Structure 1
Amino acid sequence: MVLWVFGYGSLIWKAGFRYEERLVGFINGYSRVFYQGSTDHRGTPDYPGRTVTLEPSHGEVCWGVAYKVSGEEDEQIALSYLEVREKQYDTKVYLDFFTDPNTTTPAVSGVMVYIGSPNKKLNPNYLGPASLEEIAEQIINAEGPSGPNRDYIFQLENALLEIGCEDKHVMDLANAVRKTLSEMKMDS
């Protein structure tokens, strides 16, 4: 048996488990959005950070990476690790993963994807949409055990650019964070 895991946030640059293969590609029908609250990694329960989740979006694609984990022991270790790391994401789906935008044949069928749903009963950390300025402000002020929330957005922006993806939402938000930080420096 083989496990495939799709990373569209911090998993792109930090898998945290042993894998046999890493493919750059995308899933269809979803957009990456900074709507998920993080009270365990990039924020605290009193001041949640913001991380990405996926939102169904007809006609959109979300680029990231898929990791192939082989062997029963490595699969169990990876799954145990991911269940802790991704515990604030309440939904797991299995989707087709593509590496070539010009084909309708997936490179991998059934890649596992963690999603933080907008259902507040199942996902109490869901923060939802807000203006770019509001999200940027929250990111600037949040910090958790994994470090400042601003590091997350800048690492995500860099990781996406390294795989050839210019995600408008991520880039606009990273620029808004940079602008606000620059203004804060000038004010002090």
Structure 2
Amino acid sequence: MLTREELSSERIDQIVADARKAGYDFFLTSEEREASLKKALQRYKPGEEAWVFAYGSLMWNPALEYAEALPSSVEGWRRSFCFWTPLGRGTPELPGLMLALEGGGSCEGIAYRLAPHQVRSELAILWNREMLSGVYQARWVPTRLRDGRVVTAVTFVVDTAHCQYCGDLPIERAAHHIAFAEGRRGACRDYLTNTAEHARSLGIHDPYIEELVHRVADLRGEPVVHAVPPDTEAVGEA
């Protein structure tokens, strides 16, 4: 589980430096991350609250301080394992896969409300977490809260031009990498399991995630615990 201490600028700068030494020169410098945050904040009026839409590990390990968390959904974007991670939950020899939003479909998740005094500090921590390699693009999207209100929330969509992007992977190949890839942040399958379990706890049924849960369990010869039966006709749509 990530902690706020691990997301300090000093710790992140060291991770980036180590990654660049290992040949991953697409990792963003602190100046590049700050420039990206400033660009995103051009859509924010100081003194107002802000919202963050979470669809993956931010749902079960936000490491953010927030005023409120509400189930929510976005249209026009779907949850997708669509980029490689050769360090965090994988290796260069067997990279893991991570979630991003890809265009098309819809996605249910959590919207975190940041009070005005939290916006700048918490988004800075969020940028340290999400904007390491530049594979994500920050996007402000209409987000429907479960109580019916629509707010504008910042979220992270995949940059399809980035070298880590691997959209349209056959689900069999995706399941193999998720089943067996492990890195310094742990096993890729744990990332999938935590996301699936938290989604179910919110009453979210994502056929794509559930199909991967079943395929990973089959590959590892393990039972599926508390999984919703997969809807194979809807595989790939969140």
Which runs of no fewer than 5 residues in structure 1 stay unpaired? 184-188
* Residue 39 to residue 68, structure 1, CA distance change in 2 (3 Å): farther
CA distance in structure 2 between the partners assigned to 1:80 and 1:173 by the alignment = 32
Higher strand share: 1
CA distance in structure 1 between the partners assigned to 2:49 and 2:88 by the alignment = 28
Structure-to-structure mapping, 1:26-37, within 5 angstroms: 26-37=73-84
2:67 matches 1:25: no
Partner of 2:16: none
2:96 matches 1:39: no
| Contact 1:39 1:125 survives alignment (8 Å) | no
| Contact 1:90 1:115 survives alignment (8 Å) | yes
Q: Which residue of 76, 96, 102 maps to 2:142?
A: 96
Q: How many residues align?
A: 173
TM-superposed CA distance for 1:25, in Å, is 1.1
The one-letter code sitting in structure 2 at the alignment partner of 1:115 is: V
Indicate the SS of the match to 1:98. strand
The one-letter code sitting in structure 2 at the alignment partner of 1:92 is: A
CA distance in structure 2 between the partners assigned to 1:96 and 1:40 by the alignment = 32
1:117-148 CA distance string (max 9 Å, x none): 211xxx22112222221111111221122210
1:123-175 CA distance string (max 9 Å, x none): 22112222221111111221122210000001111011011111011100111
| Contact 1:26 1:61 survives alignment (8 Å) | yes
Indicate the SS of the match to 1:42. coil
CA distance in structure 1 between the partners assigned to 2:86 and 2:110 by the alignment = 25
| Contact 1:43 1:142 survives alignment (8 Å) | yes
Indicate the SS of the match to 2:204. coil
- Higher Rg of the two aligned structures: 2
The one-letter code sitting in structure 1 at the alignment partner of 2:98 is: T
Query: Normalising by structure 2, what TM-score?
Result: 0.68
TM-superposed CA distance for 1:44, in Å, is 3.4
Structure-to-structure mapping, 1:93-172, within 5 angstroms: 93-100=139-146, 106-108=149-151, 110-119=152-161, 123-172=162-211
Q: Which residue of 221, 235, 238 maps to 1:182?
A: 221
TM-superposed CA distance for 1:180, in Å, is 0.3
TM-superposed CA distance for 1:61, in Å, is 1.9
Indicate the SS of the match to 1:63. strand
| Contact 2:101 2:157 survives alignment (8 Å) | yes
CA distance in structure 2 between the partners assigned to 1:3 and 1:40 by the alignment = 31
